[in-house]
Amino acid sequence: MVESLPNWIDQLSTGTRRTLALLWMCERATVHQEKDTLVIQGRSRGEFYRRTVASLIREIVDEPVNVTDHNVIISAAAARSLPTVFR
């Protein structure tokens, strides 16, 4: 089970962290039909992993990004603030 993101991510520049967050969402987020909400499934990931992914994404959006027992939920408002590729 993956428990966290690599420590070297903390050493990246703000621009690189932003790019990483966008790439992470491109690769991992699921778009729900009829909704703008994005979900990153974290069922097989540890809680700290989900919290650190959410924190990374919060760095680039001003809207809610939440952590549940199994997922990272990027609110519809947050998703709409992302580049068009996510919509």
Instruction: Give the pLDDT confidence score for residue 86 in this predicted structure.
Output: 55
Supply the pTM of this predicted model. Answer: 0.86
The CATH code belonging to domain 7-86 is 3.10.28
Q: What is the pLDDT of residue 85?
A: 61
Question: Which one, of 48, 37, 33, lies nearest residue 78 by Cα?
Answer: 37
Per-residue pLDDT of the chain (87 residues; tens, 9 = 90+): 677 788 898 899 999 999 999 998 989 999 877 888 999 998 888 899 999 999 999 999 999 999 999 999 999 999 999 886 655
Q: For the chain, give every domain's residue range.
A: 7-86
Q: Tally the C-alpha atoms within 13 A of residue 75's C-alpha that lie toward its C-beta.
A: 10
Q: Which amino acid is at 15?
A: G
pLDDT at 87: 53
Give the pLDDT score at 7: 86
Q: Which helix (H) or strand (E) holds 65?
A: strand 65-67
